[in-house]
Amino acid sequence: MRKFLGLVLLVASVILSAQTLIIKGSNTVYPIAQLWVEEFKKINPSVVVTLEGAGSTTGIKALFNNTTDIANSSRFLKASEVEEMHKAGKYFAPIVIAYDGLSVIVNPNLAIDSITMETLKKIYTGEITQWNQVDPKLPNRPIVVYSRNTASGTFETWVEKVLQGEKLSPRVQMLESSQAEIESVAKNQYAIAYTGMGYVTSQVKALKVNGIEPTIANVLAGVYPISRPLYVFIDLARFNNTWPQQGIVADFIRFILSPEGQKLVEKAGYIPAYGTGK
């Protein structure tokens, strides 16, 4: 009996001493966050980390609901979220952690290498529906159009920069993740989609936009037309409206902004926001 009680007390003490970190949000940032978590746990083996990537809006809502410590986001806060934040007495601090160029992807077998912003707008609003309307040399086949869902910060960026506020065509098929977009375009010769540059693989082809490739150099130079910063948000109201200096959240933020953390941004296929110590 004493041995059993001793075991129970030991297990309880381990559970109580373990630190937990919850991270939710952007599907785009998810591959970076996976690498961060793997390395961070090597440094802090007692830390229990939960990581979810269901969309930027999901992460920001979790900050409001106090169900996450950190929200990954591929967009900035909306005006409505800023208003709600003030009413709730919260203070979501944005931290730029990387830069991204949204890549327009098609099947490698489609004979197109470049597209304009105006054409993209017409495809996604439904004004253009056939590939031969884009270029007479392309097949007279319907364009199968994919998009991220409305919980996605990538979707919000696309609406702002490409659709410029116009409505998405009902023909557009909404997908739950960037990986689903890659897989769908890889399977369909007449498909088009958009995704963060870190998700692009040899299964698909990234098009030039307005004649400019989605490269690191072009994103950093500000010439690629669908570029954006990537963020993590923390609620400073949890830390008496000051920057956290101690604790697991502070340790994690310091790690992801360090040269080691920024090298992992690069490894995931995105552009580090800070030095990597090379």
Give residue-wise pLDDT tens across range 73-105.
999 999 999 999 999 999 999 999 999 999 999
Asked if pLDDT for residue 145 goes beyond 90, the answer is yes
The percent of residues in the chain predicted with pLDDT above 90, rounded, is 91
Other beta carbons less than 10 A from residue 78's beta carbon: 12
pTM of the model: 0.89
d(CA 195, CA 5): 54
Q: Residue 96 forms beta bridges with which residues? A: 231
N-to-C CA span, the chain:
58
Query: Which domains, from first to last, does the chain contain?
Result: 8-99+229-272 (3.40.190.10), 103-225 (3.40.190.10)
Sign of CA dihedral 172, 177, 183, 186: positive
CA distance 96 to 104: 23
**Confidence grade of residue 165 (pLDDT, cut at 50, 70, 90):** confident
Q: How far apart, in whole angstroms, are the C-alpha atoms of residue 142 and residue 258?
A: 47
- Torsion over CA of 221, 226, 231 and 237, rounded to 10 degrees? 120
Read off the tokens for 71.
């929200």
β-bridge mates for residue 54, sequence order: none
Q: What average pLDDT score do residues 218-233 get?
A: 96
Q: What is the Cα Rg of the chain in Å?
A: 21
Vertex 51 angle, CA 48 and 54, to 5°: 160
CA–CA gap between residue 77 and residue 85 (Å, rounded) = 10
* pLDDT confidence of residue 196: 95
